[in-house]
Amino acid sequence: MSILNQYSFVFFILLLLGILAIVLFRKGVQKRKIAIYASVVVGLIAIWFMIKPSQNLSISQDQTQTLIGSGLPVLLEFQSPY
């Protein structure tokens, strides 16, 4: 079940692209329709790379340790990539 949860966007996009292909190409394949389909695919791939989980460290562990130990209030935010 976790694989479905982690990649639900990918599965949804594959389903959406399949439905779009059926609707676009049901009356024949034309260059214009291929261009429309390709632009949708490129756009969805770009969206995937923008929203996919990735690790982003804006501060090192040593800096975090010195901030916590200095007596100042510190907000720690822990995020999971999934």
Asked if residue 17 belongs to a domain, the reply is yes
Alpha-helical runs (H) found in 1-82: 2-6, 8-25, 31-51, 61-69
Give the model's pLDDT for residue 36.
93
Give the model's pLDDT for residue 57.
64
Asked if residue 66 belongs to a domain, the reply is no
Give the model's pLDDT for residue 32.
93
Note the pLDDT tens digit of each residue in 15-61. Answer: 999 999 999 999 999 999 999 999 999 999 898 888 876 666 677 77
Asked if residue 36 belongs to a domain, the reply is yes
pLDDT at 73 over 90: no
Residue 27: give the domain boundaries. Answer: 2-54
